[in-house]
Amino acid sequence: MTLQRLSSVFRSATASLNSGAGVLTFRFSFVFVLSFALACLAFFANAVQAKEAVPLGDAPWVEARMVHISEELRCLVCQNETLASSRADLAKDLRDEVRDLIRQGKTDPEIKTYLVARYGDFVLYRPEVKPSTWALWWGPAVMLGLGLITALWAVRTRRKNAAADAAIDAAIDADTAPHLPQVPFSAEAQKLVDSVMKNRE
Amino acid sequence: MRLALIPLIVFLALVAFLAVGLKRDPHEIPSPLIDHPAPAFVLDTVAADTPRFSPEQMKGQVWLLNVWATWCLPCQQEHPMLMQFAQQGLVPVVGMNYKEIQTDQDEAGQPLLPATRLSMARTKTAAWLKKHGNPYAFTVLDVDGRVGVNYGVYGVPESYLIDKAGVIRYKVVGVLTPEILAETVQPLIQKLNKEPFPQQPVPKAS
């Protein structure tokens, strides 16, 4: 049937090309063929995509809250995925559990406490701040602080040494090349030279 | 001189941390349920004609709850160990079959009724135990895995050692090996068996 229709459309299109008022009819039938083809395409595309969309199963607000909470929770099977994005079986079960708790009117902290009571702090991507997690929370900042202090200390020592070296060079110059203009020592530099020379002896 | 040792000390500390980290299994998540009462439940058992099971029934004795399923390959590896353990008769072993039926649709794509899923789980579990041997004093069916969630199950097999008062005292994630049984579980059972029950409140001197 569709073929017949298509060929008749084509015939009318070619026929109208020869007739006097042909241009308009040709355009019209071309649009018709195009839309018909598109309709066919849509039909077949539908047939290929035979799988139904996964039902949301719940009110959108439950779904939205579930996703919001689950994004903060770790899937225990894949460990580097959130509960919201994991396809693991257990993650699906836990999402169902979270949906249930939302429907029971539990608050977000209550739901998190519920899961922590069963699976431990590990389920939280953002663990609670408490003595056992202090190292986790403040450790990096402490390490950074220690690093900065060490760097500062190293730079200071190096500067001090450079100053001492310059003073010693000047002293040697004064000793070996008295014809050069003498650079007067400050009391501080003299002290430095004395201490360094004493250490080096 | 002494300052020069600091990088070495820091390096050795780092090596020590990494060495410990290498030995730890990231899949073994410490259970928060240790030293907490075992969550209560009432579940159907594998035999349709026996009453439903509740952990309450085990009060007064130390017991092992083993979470397993016939589709779980490590459980099959664990099974001979459990058979041996059960034959020793140290403590009763209760098997909790976790999500035996992995689909919620039948062959025609229709959703399975809970009753159908239960009877399917019964058939499969009973057949498997008949073929391979039954180490369990009770076999309960957690068809939808809800009880498993309460116990913090995230993979099978898992085993929980529960004391006379119904408190979880130890959890093994993964296969029960002869080493774990001999070095940890059995000494703990002996210790728990010596604990008094019922734990009567100390009477106040009037």
Q: Convert the pLDDT of each residue in B155-192 to its tens digit.
A: 899 999 999 999 999 999 999 999 999 999 999 999 99
The amino acid that residue B126 corresponds to is A
- Which of A77, A97, A122 is facing B155, going by the closest CB pair? A77
Q: Look at B27 and A118 and tell me if their CB atoms are within 8 Å.
A: no
B88/A168 Cα distance (integer angstroms): 84
Q: Over the stretch B27-50, which tens digit does the pLDDT of each residue have?
A: 778 889 999 999 999 999 998 888
pLDDT over 70 for what percent of chain B? Answer: 96
State the pairing for strand pair B138-142/B63-68: unpaired
Q: How far is CA B51 from CA A109, B48, B86, B114, in A?
A: 38, 8, 22, 18
Please tell me the predicted confidence (pLDDT) of residue B164: 94
Interface of A with B in 43-102 (CB under 8 A): 76-77, 79, 89-90, 93-94, 97
State the pairing for strand pair B93-98/B168-173: unpaired
B147/A1 Cα distance (integer angstroms): 59
pLDDT in tens, chain A (201 residues): 455 555 554 455 444 444 444 444 555 566 666 666 666 555 555 544 445 555 555 688 888 999 999 999 998 888 888 998 888 888 989 999 999 999 999 999 999 999 999 998 889 998 888 888 899 899 999 999 999 999 999 999 998 888 888 888 877 877 777 676 666 677 777 787 788 777 766
Q: Over the stretch A54-82, which tens digit does the pLDDT of each residue have?
A: 555 568 888 899 999 999 999 888 888 89
- Smallest CA–CA separation between A64 and chain B, in Å? 22
8 Å CB contact between B99 and B148: yes
Q: What is the reported pTM? A: 0.69
Q: Look at B154 and A77 and tell me if their CB atoms are within 8 Å.
A: yes
> How far from chain centre, in Å, is Cα A93?
26
Compute the mean pLDDT over every residue in chain B, rounded to the nearest whole number.
91
Q: Over the stretch B85-102, which tens digit does the pLDDT of each residue have?
A: 999 999 999 999 999 998
Q: Look at A120 and B102 and tell me if their CB atoms are within 8 Å.
A: no
A7 touches chain B (CB under 8 A): no
Please tell me the predicted confidence (pLDDT) of residue A21: 47
Please tell me the predicted confidence (pLDDT) of residue A39: 64
8 Å CB contact between B169 and B193: no
Please tell me the predicted confidence (pLDDT) of residue B62: 96
- Smallest CA–CA separation between A42 and chain B, in Å? 25
Please tell me the predicted confidence (pLDDT) of residue A173: 77
Q: Look at A94 and B149 and tell me if their CB atoms are within 8 Å.
A: yes
Please tell me the predicted confidence (pLDDT) of residue B49: 86
Please tell me the predicted confidence (pLDDT) of residue B5: 87
A113-122, B132-141, B193-202, range with the lowest pLDDT: B193-202
A62/B184 Cα distance (integer angstroms): 45
DSSP character string of A35-52 = HHHHHHHHHHHHHH--SP
- Which of B26, B32, B144 is facing A120, going by the closest CB pair? B32
- Which of A77, A93, A119 is facing B152, going by the closest CB pair? A119
The amino acid that residue B146 corresponds to is R
- Alpha-carbon dihedral A149, A154, A159, A162, rounded to 10 degrees: 170
3-state secondary structure of B105: strand
Q: Look at A76 and B149 and tell me if their CB atoms are within 8 Å.
A: no
Strands in chain A per DSSP E: none
- Smallest CA–CA separation between B206 and chain A, in Å? 40
Q: Which residues contact B65 (CB under 8 A, 6 or more apart)?
A: B38, B55, B94, B96, B151, B159, B160, B162
- Which of A79, A93, A120 is facing B145, going by the closest CB pair? A93
3-state secondary structure of A124: strand
Q: Look at B30 and A90 and tell me if their CB atoms are within 8 Å.
A: no
8 Å CB contact between B67 and B158: yes
